[in-house]
Structure 1
Amino acid sequence: METLWIYLLCALFMCTTLAEEDQKLKFKAASKPVRLFTEEELRKYDGSVEDLPIYMAVKGVVFDVTKGKEFYGKDAPYNAMVGKDSSRAVAKMSLDPDDLTSDTTDLTEEQLQSLDSIFEGTYKTKYPIVGYTASRILNQDGTPNEAFRPEDQPHFQIKDEF
């Protein structure tokens, strides 16, 4: 009987611990304030420099994918997707050079749903947000993009210095 209680307590403790870990995975807070990246700045974080983190943007949100170095690092299978916004490639599950872009025009409804699913279920839960691409926030002429709403972006803070 005593063994049964010990087993039940251990099982309860493990379930609680696993549930707590599951909750932690649902939201990865940035360790420092996020920043705005130009395409040129983002290219620096493509995994080619050992001492720099590896960044990848999806839907204009820049994620630190360094902990997935075996997938995104130099010579890794998905390295072509880092250092840029690869929204189209994620939506199409493609590594075709023509798809390594943020342009999601003319994607099918199924591809757009896939993009949203992977964005929410993989990137936002697994990797910290470190910034946004300038194109997500600003139009080509430098005016604010009306589609970007800071109140919908829990990590977005305007800072003078980073």
Structure 2
Amino acid sequence: MGCLRLSFIVIILAVGAGWYFRSTEDVRVKEILNTVLKLTPKPIVDLFQPAEDDSHDAKKQEKVTDNEVKSTSRIFSKQDLWDNYRGGDGSKGVYLAFFGKVFDVSKGKEHYGPGGGYHFFAGRDGTKGFVTGDFSDEGLTDDIDGMDSKLMIGFDDWIQFYSSTYTYVGTVIGQFYDENGKPTEALKNANKLIAEAKQAKKQQDEENKILPMCNSESSAAKGSRVWCSTKSGGVERSWVGVPRQYHPPGANSPRCACVRTNGKPSYGADDGKNRGDLGNPYLREYDNCHSTSDSCVIKQPK
């Protein structure tokens, strides 16, 4: 009986030591511990098995991913990109940069390589040209100072496209990243402007649901006309509305909006008049058009 107890104690100590030293690199020790564990009843082994730490595994995986990125990421000069990554004879591949990030677009060589429709993007950071449509050497630049803020939102779509479609390989020294691969103030400011543009677009979309754009047509024979329907402005709804000139603060010029004529107002307090949004102070009726008409001729035919 004493021998049995002693054997049991030895097994427990061995199992405990096995779990304690499970990360050892000594092959011989591992072999001995593995043999002991195989001979030990599972209920005893389970007593010493620690709970799995998912957060540790996640951190380990995150660390590996970071190391992989660091090991593959490069810092390019503009000259290096232009001389070596345009896909011609002796080239090292087809790369392009967008917002300072360099992507390997070799799998799209038929588009970005020599003879391709987008070859002018290869070997450089032509960020500005992506949204302006200016594909001249002056337009294909990473200098976006003074750009219309409304165009900034277009950058976000391109960032998502290249990040999800092509392989990121590094950064290029220029407006957005410095010689150490660190983001510049220009990049931080650009990201801020993009965020503001996205917020403005969201507000505009919400406004268009309340005051949808009018349908319009224009010809020499019929003149110019605007009108409302239950689908005008691409907004399906139960009401038609009446055309009004809408000129909110900050807008360069008015646009035609279809305005709901009954119910509570979308903005401000309810005055109880059941006039929908007709009381909006930024609305004006079209000349020579009846206030309740859903169609207005804004320019007579010649």
The residue identity in structure 1 corresponding to 2:137 is P
- Aligned to 1:56, the other structure's residue is in SS state strand
Q: By how many angstroms is 1:73 displaced?
A: 0.5
Note the 1:85-124 alignment, pairs <5 A.
Answer: 85-120=125-160, 122-124=161-163
The normalised TM-score by structure 2 is 0.35
Task: Give the number of the structure whose alpha-carbon radius of gyration is greater.
Answer: 2
Local SS of the residue matching 1:130:
strand
Q: Deviations over 1:115-136 (max 9, x none)?
A: 121111x111100100101223
Q: Distance in 1 between matches of 2:183 and 2:128?
A: 23
Aligned to 1:74: 114
More strand by share: 2
Letter in 1 for 2:142: S
> How many residues matched?
117
Identity across aligned pairs (percent)? 28
What residue in structure 2 maps to residue 64 of structure 1?
104
- Cα distance in structure 2, aligned partners of 1:117 and 1:111: 11
Shift of 1:57: 0.2
Residue of structure 1 equivalent to 2:166: 127
1:55 to 95, 104, 118: 95
Structure 2 equivalent of residue 145 of structure 1 = 184
- 1:110 positional shift: 2.5
TM-superposed deviation, 1:98: 1.6
User: Aligned residue for 1:153?
Assistant: none
Which position in structure 1 is the counterpart of 2:239? none
Q: Give the deviation of 1:80 after TM superposition.
A: 0.8
Q: Which amino acid aligns with 1:74?
A: P
Secondary structure of the structure 2 residue equivalent to 1:129: strand
CA RMSD of aligned residues (A): 2.7
Say which structure, 1 or 2, has more relative contact order (CA 8 Å, 6+ apart): 1
**Match runs of 1:22-61 below 5 Å:** 33-43=72-82, 44-49=84-89, 52-61=92-101
CA distance in 2, matches of 1:69, 1:51: 12
Query: Aligned in 2, Cα 1:115/1:66: closer, same or farther, shift over 3 Å?
Result: same
| TM-score in terms of structure 1 length | 0.63
Deviations 1:1-48 (A, max 9, x none): xxxxxxxxxxxxxxxxxxxxxxxxxxxx96x61100001111110121
Mapped partners of 1:147, 1:102: distance in 2: 10
Seen in structure 2, the aligned counterparts of structure 1 residues 62 and 51 have a Cα distance that, compared at 3 Å, is same
1:51–1:113 Cα change, 3 Å:
same
Uncovered stretches (5+) of structure 1, i.e. residues with no partner:
1-28, 150-162
Q: CA deviation at 1:147?
A: 6.1
